[in-house]
Amino acid sequence: MLAAAVLAGAHSISVGFDEEPGEYRWAVVRTDSGAVRVTVLSFQELWGNRPDADGAPLFSWTGHPADFGRAVRDAAEAVLKEHGLAGYKERWAEHDFPSQQLELLRSYIAAWERNR
C-alpha cells in the first residue's frame, strides 16, 4: 500500500490507476523538510510509461507523512465498512479487499504515533 511505503521511509513512490483510455497516477515524494508531497496526475494514454513530468496535475497536497497515512487508512476503513469483504469482492471482482495491507498501514501509523 502506498501510504505504508511512505511511513516506512520511501523517498518517492508512484502508483498508477487504469482509466481507459488513460491513467491516473499518484506520485508521492518526501521533501527535504520530511513532509510528503502527494500529486495526482492524469495521462492521456494507458500504459504509456510516461514520466511524471508529462502528466497533467489534478491535485497536490503537502503534509506530514502520518497525516497522509491516517487519511488513506480512514478511506480504506470507510470502503470496508460500506461494502464489507464480500461486497468488496463482488464489486471489484478481480481483487479481494487489501486486509493485510490495511493492517500493515495501521501498524506503521501506531509506530509513528508512539514515536512522536
Q: How would you write the pLDDT of the chain (116 residues) with one tens digit per residue?
A: 789 999 999 999 999 888 888 899 999 999 999 999 999 999 988 777 889 999 999 999 999 999 999 999 999 999 999 999 999 999 988 889 999 999 999 999 999 998 87
52-69 exposure pattern, b = at least 16 Cβ within 10 A, e = fewer: eeebeeeeeeeeebbebb
Structural domains of the chain, count = 1
Its domain, for residue 9, covers 2-114
Q: What phi and psi values does residue 37 have, to the nearest 5 degrees?
A: -110, 120
